[in-house]
């Protein structure tokens, strides 16, 4: 008896990457089509674009306008930080509960889709959206910054020439202004913003596998975010074990907090870059490595919990 | 597995993962701090001062944004001449953004120049108090600037600004020990001149400051000779200082007039430059041999006695060598 | 004949749920065993809370059994590979409102590893099968309940599975839609696809299923072929057309003469309300 022919539909096994890509693009489209995303994005664009106009300044004539550039960078990166963290947390927090509530999760898991593919796909969808948004905001910021820098540069050069400054001083002023304008380190700062948001998204994923409520996941994630900044202090408390008067309980709690929660203090490099410091590429690489470590760990931990979850 | 077992395992795994990553993070933190890319912890006092929202944003990693806001607030205080508030606000600002040179410069300027001038001229204080307030403001500005230098060692702008403040003729009398002040100015200018982004005049100003310190004439002369090598350095002031220091070092053999001619080129040029230099007597610049040279030049150029430079700026005691 | 592995084999399935801390465990399924051969249509019926959905979920690996095993075509349900041969339509599915019908099918198809030409053809084929071609580019947000069920069926069939699991496929659907779904199930049976459905709309189960299992309070209380189960053994039915009253009287007399037999009832048989509805709305004879 000849075996029943396997239909072409069934013969294709599919791959992990393929499935993850499908779920990721799907999550991306789902989030983009949510109206709240449009509002947030428009708001961010307005805030960054508004830097095109003047803010009250009180600088002396020689440094007229350099502080504007600082301001622009501050505002834009601040907006990017806020948007990326909020969006990473909230978007991840709502994806899983939404699927469970709509029962679409059943239809997906009833297909030969391993649970890790599902989690990884959802997370990557969120990260893709955060990345695209940050890239757009970065382009906008760089354009505004570039235009402003040119304006200030031409104004200052004119002033310096009209006052007959010697060439060395003019060159120094020019270098000063340009160093505050857009540069590669600033892009590195934006990448650091993205890394931070990625860590928060993967952490929110982990929390959402425990909790069933979007609200609970979001709030807990925000709390962890802030504690993550304090935790560097907690670590110092532990390491300075010679401090008299700190009970063993306090030290243990500090140790636990600093081990378990992510250390966001490292990302304060963003501030330094805004002030004009240059960030070497290798540091950025190390930061990326640490970010990747967190993300992978949290995804694996999420899988561990999610694998056993019953629906 | 019981329901609580998996979360417990995750928790333990997190502890383990934390132990694994901590050395890397600590190492990276160290490297970043060394490169000046990572600010230190914000002291609790600052957190109090910036309020809850500010603390939230600052702790959320955007200290420079909070600094920007406070900068705007400081501007308002400045327009209202509330100098104590300006000072306090700048204290907060530099805690948040210690590497932004602009804030140190502006904060110092507000105290040393704006506030001091206000107290002296515009305030309602009685005369005795005015002077004291003026002095206090100048000293506050200096202290602020020095703090900025401690936070950003080797920064040329801040060091040059300090040198400028310390050698400013109008602010001089705020500082008690003139020699120590000029020495500090010289050192500040030296640091500025040694940096990569040094402007050419930093080195010259280092010389001028050093030349005014009693007992350091030899050192100043060596520097002057070095600077004099390059023709781009031969500004009128430099030429005069060089002249005076050389004369001071070798008083007898040098014929001031001849020497002056070799530096300045023509008798007329010599006279113009040296007399311009002479009238700046209040700045304590070295004037060894200048009076003699001027007198000789006046004779040579047949300048009438009533048009002599010494009419309005007579030779004082000890300046007649 | 295909290989003799049963499509579904559940042995001694037990599932306990924790209700709240320190309370008694709730035993949702207490030792259910059933076996579905390939090509059958099997109906699992029972009241709400009897363990039907839990049994299905255990079969699909959505829930891990406390004891016992579930296998699909010989593969244990806890393995991801066992789901290659299964299509599942959950109860009251929502799907993703922002996708159109075709996009939804493409999504699920890609999840199963299909792509390119094969996928496109399959999507068109399925849309034709469930009669949704006219709505292929409309967002699911604009679909009616019946359309959603049909697209759900299409999604379940996307990778051409040999087993179809349907949880309350006609719940909440109007009679016309119900009928379409039932017709589809017949078509699938003709193709050799095994169907495992559960419902508490008993009339509809009766129309469609070959075998039936009744589950109550987590236990299987009766199981077997439909005709055998519902035949009222000691009664016989004869339906006559255009019979005169004399003929009826004659037959009644004949029965009265037979020892042991009795006439239970004579009169006009009733059509069902459903047939009346369909007749009126579709202009079709039942």
Distance CA B196, CA B192 (A): 9
Distance CA B277, CA B241 (A): 9
- Structure tokens given for C80: 């991801």
- Residue C30: strand pairing partners: C14
Domain count, chain A: 1
CA C147 to chain centre: 17
Q: Angle A169-A174-A177 (CA atoms, 0-180°, nearest 5)?
A: 125
pLDDT digits (tens, 9 = 90+) for C85-95: 899 998 887 78
Determine, yes or no, domain membership for B259.
yes
What does the CA dihedral B225, B231, B236, B237 come to, rounded to 10 degrees?
-40
Distance CA C44, CA C34 (A): 10
| Confidence at residue A7, expressed as pLDDT on a 0 to 100 scale | 58
Mean of pLDDT values over A155-184? 83
Given C62, C87, C94, which is nearest A102 (Cβ)? C94
Mean pLDDT of chain B: 86
Instruction: Check residues A265 and B145 and name the one with the higher pLDDT.
Output: B145
pLDDT band at A60 (very low <50, low <70, confident <90, very high): very low
Determine, yes or no, domain membership for B59.
no
Q: Angle C7-C13-C15 (CA atoms, 0-180°, nearest 5)?
A: 130
> Neighbours of A (≥3 Cβ pairs closer than 8 A)?
B, C
What domains lie within chain C, and their CATH numbers?
A: 8-230 (3.40.50.300), 245-282 (no CATH)
Do B7 and A305 make contact, defined as CB atoms within 8 angstroms?
yes
Chain B residues lying within 8 Å of A268, measured CB to CB: 38-39, 61, 63
Min Cα–Cα distance to chain B from A277, Å: 7
Sign of CA dihedral B108, B138, B151, A225: negative
In this complex, is the C-beta atom of B23 within 8 Å of any C-beta atom belonging to chain A? no
pLDDT band at A4 (very low <50, low <70, confident <90, very high): very low
Do C113 and A12 make contact, defined as CB atoms within 8 angstroms?
yes
CA nearest C155 in A: which residue? Answer: A107
Distance CA C2, CA A142 (A): 66
Distance CA B186, CA B202 (A): 10
Chain C residues lying within 8 Å of A29, measured CB to CB: 98
Domain count, chain B: 1
Who contacts C230 (Cβ-Cβ below 8 Å, separation ≥6)?
A: C206
CA C43 to chain centre: 6
Cβ atoms of B110 and B117 closer than 8 Å: no
Chain B residues lying within 8 Å of A47, measured CB to CB: none
Determine, yes or no, domain membership for A182.
yes
Determine, yes or no, domain membership for B87.
no
Do A70 and B99 make contact, defined as CB atoms within 8 angstroms?
no
In this complex, is the C-beta atom of B34 within 8 Å of any C-beta atom belonging to chain A? no
Instruction: Provide the residue count of chain C.
Output: 286
Mean of pLDDT values over B26-52? 78
- Structure tokens given for C6: 């049963």
Determine, yes or no, domain membership for B43.
no
Distance CA C185, CA C195 (A): 8
Cβ atoms of C34 and C92 closer than 8 Å: no
pLDDT band at B113 (very low <50, low <70, confident <90, very high): very high
> Neighbours of C (≥3 Cβ pairs closer than 8 A)?
A
pLDDT band at C262 (very low <50, low <70, confident <90, very high): confident
Sign of CA dihedral A104, A110, A112, A113: positive
Residue A306 has pLDDT above 50, yes or no: yes
Mean of pLDDT values over B48-53? 75
Determine, yes or no, domain membership for A9.
no
Mean of pLDDT values over A148-152? 85
Distance CA C53, CA C41 (A): 17
Residue A252 has pLDDT above 60, yes or no: yes
Chain B residues lying within 8 Å of A279, measured CB to CB: 37
Q: Helices then strands (H, E): number in chain C?
A: 9, 10
pLDDT digits (tens, 9 = 90+) for C8-43: 889 999 998 887 767 778 888 888 999 999 889 999
Mean of pLDDT values over C31-56? 88
Q: B 77-106 residues with CB below 8 A of A?
A: 78-79, 97, 99-100, 102, 105-106
Beta-carbon count within 10 A of B3 CB: 9
Which residue range(s) make up the domain with A286? 16-306
| Confidence at residue B172, expressed as pLDDT on a 0 to 100 scale | 83
Residue A1 has pLDDT above 50, yes or no: no
**Least confident segment among A100-104, A189-193, B256-260:** B256-260
Residue C177 has pLDDT above 90, yes or no: no
Residue A56 has pLDDT above 80, yes or no: no
| Confidence at residue C102, expressed as pLDDT on a 0 to 100 scale | 93
Cβ atoms of B256 and B296 closer than 8 Å: yes
Beta-carbon count within 10 A of B280 CB: 14
Chain C residues lying within 8 Å of A13, measured CB to CB: 113
Distance CA C11, CA C32 (A): 7
| Confidence at residue B158, expressed as pLDDT on a 0 to 100 scale | 93
| Confidence at residue A3, expressed as pLDDT on a 0 to 100 scale | 45
Determine, yes or no, domain membership for B70.
no
Mean of pLDDT values over A108-128? 92
Determine, yes or no, domain membership for B296.
yes
Who contacts B182 (Cβ-Cβ below 8 Å, separation ≥6)?
A: B166, B167, B209, B210, B212, B213, B284
Do A232 and B29 make contact, defined as CB atoms within 8 angstroms?
yes
Determine, yes or no, domain membership for A181.
yes
Given B10, B97, B99, which is nearest A305 (Cβ)? B10
Given A102, A106, A114, which is nearest C88 (Cβ)? A106
pLDDT digits (tens, 9 = 90+) for C105-143: 999 999 988 888 999 999 999 999 888 999 889 988 888
Best CA proximity match to C56, nearest among C81, C28, C79, C94: C28
Residue A88 has pLDDT above 80, yes or no: yes
Determine, yes or no, domain membership for A6.
no
Angle C101-111/C116-129 helices, nearest 10 degrees?
A: 130
Instruction: Check residues C272 and A128 and name the one with the higher pLDDT.
Output: A128
Chain A residues lying within 8 Å of B37, measured CB to CB: 269, 272-273, 277, 279, 283
Angle A214-239/B51-59 helices, nearest 10 degrees?
A: 80
* CB-defined contacts A:B, below 8 A: 150
Instruction: Check residues C279 and B106 and name the one with the higher pLDDT.
Output: B106
pTM of the predicted model as reported, rounded to 2 decimal places: 0.81
Min Cα–Cα distance to chain A from C60, Å: 6
| Confidence at residue A190, expressed as pLDDT on a 0 to 100 scale | 93
Determine, yes or no, domain membership for B305.
yes
Mean of pLDDT values over A81-92? 90
Chain B residues lying within 8 Å of A64, measured CB to CB: none
Do A9 and C112 make contact, defined as CB atoms within 8 angstroms?
yes
Determine, yes or no, domain membership for A173.
yes
Percent of chain B with pLDDT over 70: 95
C265: alpha, beta or left? (left if phi > 0; alpha if psi -120 to 50): beta
Distance CA C54, CA B98 (A): 63
Determine, yes or no, domain membership for A20.
yes
Determine, yes or no, domain membership for A178.
yes
Q: Angle B37-A50-A69 (CA atoms, 0-180°, nearest 5)?
A: 35
Do C98 and A7 make contact, defined as CB atoms within 8 angstroms?
no
Determine, yes or no, domain membership for A262.
yes
- Structure tokens given for B239: 């030429």
Residue B275 has pLDDT above 90, yes or no: no
pLDDT digits (tens, 9 = 90+) for B24-35: 888 888 888 888
| Confidence at residue C1, expressed as pLDDT on a 0 to 100 scale | 44
Which residue range(s) make up the domain with B284? 234-321
Best CA proximity match to B274, nearest among B298, B253, B248, B299: B298
Do B200 and A290 make contact, defined as CB atoms within 8 angstroms?
no
């Amino acid at each position: 008896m000849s075996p029943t022919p396997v239909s072409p539909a069934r013969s294709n096994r599919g791959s992990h990457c393929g499935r993850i890509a499908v779920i990721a693009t799907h999550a991306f489209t789902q989030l983009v089509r949510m109206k709240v995303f449009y509002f947030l994005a428009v708001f961010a664009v307005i805030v960054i674009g508004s830097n095109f106009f003047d803010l009250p300044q009180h600088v002396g004539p020689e440094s007229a306008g350099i502080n504007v550039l600082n301001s622009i960078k501050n505002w834009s990166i601040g907006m990017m930080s806020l948007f990326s963290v909020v969006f990473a947390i909230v978007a991840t927090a709502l994806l899983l509960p939404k699927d469970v509530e709509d029962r679409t999760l059943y239809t997906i898991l009833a297909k030969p889709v391993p649970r890790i593919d599902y989690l990884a796909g959802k997370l990557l969808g969120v990260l893709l959206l955060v990345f695209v948004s940050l890239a757009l905001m970065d382009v906008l910021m760089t354009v505004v910054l570039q235009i402003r820098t040119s304006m200030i540069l031409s104004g200052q050069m004119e002033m310096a020439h009209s006052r007959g400054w010697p060439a060395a001083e003019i060159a120094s002023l020019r270098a000063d202004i340009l160093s505050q304008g857009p540069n590669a380190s600033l892009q590195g700062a934006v990448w650091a913003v993205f890394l931070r948001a990625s860590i928060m998204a993967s952490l929110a994923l982990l929390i959402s596998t425990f909790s069933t409520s979007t609200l609970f996941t979001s709030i807990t994630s925000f709390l962890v975010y802030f504690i993550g900044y304090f935790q560097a202090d907690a670590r110092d408390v532990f390491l300075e074990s010679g401090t008299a008067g700190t009970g063993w309980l306090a030290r243990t709690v500090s140790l636990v907090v600093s081990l378990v929660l992510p250390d966001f203090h490292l990302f304060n490099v963003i501030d330094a870059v805004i002030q004009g410091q240059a960030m070497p590429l290798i540091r950025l690489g190390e930061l990326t490595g640490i970010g990747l470590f967190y993300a992978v760990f949290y995804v694996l931990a999420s899988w561990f919990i999610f694998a056993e979850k019953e629906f | 597995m019981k329901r609580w077992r998996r979360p417990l395992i995750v928790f333990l795994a997190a502890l383990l993962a934390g132990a694994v990553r901590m050395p890397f993070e600590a190492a990276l933190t160290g490297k970043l701090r060394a490169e000046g890319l990572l600010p230190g912890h914000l002291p609790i006092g600052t957190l109090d001062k910036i309020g809850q929202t500010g603390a939230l944003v600052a702790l959320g990693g955007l200290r420079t944004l909070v600094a920007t806001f406070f900068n705007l607030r400081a501007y308002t205080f400045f327009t209202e001449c509330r100098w104590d508030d300006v000072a306090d606000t700048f204290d907060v600002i530099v805690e948040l953004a210690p590497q932004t040179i602009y804030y140190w410069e502006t904060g110092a300027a507000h105290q040393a120049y704006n506030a001091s001038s206000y107290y002296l001229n515009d305030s309602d204080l009685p005369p005795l108090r005015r002077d004291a307030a003026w002095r206090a403001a100048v000293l506050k500005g200096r202290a602020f600037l020095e703090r900025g230098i401690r936070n950003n060692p080797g920064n040329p702008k801040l060091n040059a600004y300090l040198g400028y403040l310390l050698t400013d003729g109008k602010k001089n009398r705020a500082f008690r020990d003139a020699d120590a002040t000029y020495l500090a100015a010289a050192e500040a200018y030296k640091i500025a001149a040694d940096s990569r982004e040094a402007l050419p005049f930093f080195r010259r100003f280092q010389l001028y400051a050093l030349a005014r310190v009693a007992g350091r004439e030899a050192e100043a002369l060596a520097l002057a000779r070095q600077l004099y090598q390059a023709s781009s350095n031969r500004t009128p002031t430099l030429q005069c200082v060089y002249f005076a220091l050389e004369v001071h070092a070798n008083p007898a053999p040098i014929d001031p007039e001849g020497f002056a001619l070799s530096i300045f080129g023509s008798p007329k040029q010599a006279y113009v430059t040296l007399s311009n230099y002479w009238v700046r007597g209040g700045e304590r610049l070295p004037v060894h041999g200048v009076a003699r040279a001027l007198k000789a030049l006046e004779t040579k150029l047949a300048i009438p006695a009533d048009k002599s430079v010494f009419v309005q700026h007579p030779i004082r005691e000890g300046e007649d060598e | 004949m295909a290989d003799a592995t049963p499509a579904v084999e559940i042995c001694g399935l037990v599932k306990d749920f924790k209700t709240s801390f320190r309370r008694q465990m709730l035993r949702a399924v207490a030792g259910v065993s059933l076996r579905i051969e390939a090509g059958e249509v099997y109906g699992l019926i029972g009241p709400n809370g009897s363990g039907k959905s839990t049994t299905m979920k255990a079969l699909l690996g959505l829930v891990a059994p406390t004891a016992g095993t579930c296998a699909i075509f010989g593969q244990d349900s806890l393995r991801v590979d066992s789901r290659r041969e299964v299509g599942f339509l959950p109860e009251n599915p929502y799907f993703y409102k922002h996708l159109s019908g075709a996009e939804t099918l493409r999504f699920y198809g890609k999840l199963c590893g299909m792509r390119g030409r094969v996928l496109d053809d399959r999507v068109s084929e399925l849309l034709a099968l469930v009669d949704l071609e006219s709505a292929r580019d409309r967002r699911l947000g604009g679909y009616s309940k019946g359309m959603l069920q049909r697209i759900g069926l299409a999604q379940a069939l996307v990778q051409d599975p040999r087993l179809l699991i349907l949880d309350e496929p006609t719940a909440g659907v109007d009679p016309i839609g119900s009928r379409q779904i039932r017709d589809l199930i017949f078509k699938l049976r003709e193709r050799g696809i095994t169907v495992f459905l559960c419902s508490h709309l008993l009339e509809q189960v009766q129309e469609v299923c070959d075998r039936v299992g009744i589950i109550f309070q987590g236990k299987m209380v009766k199981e077997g072929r439909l005709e055998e189960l519902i035949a009222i053994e000691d009664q016989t039915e004869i339906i006559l057309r255009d019979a005169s009253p004399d003929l009826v009287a004659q037959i009644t007399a004949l029965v009265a003469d037979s020892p042991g037999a009795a006439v239970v009832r004579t009169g006009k048989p009733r059509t069902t309300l459903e047939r009346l509805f369909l007749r009126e709305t579709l202009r079709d004879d039942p």
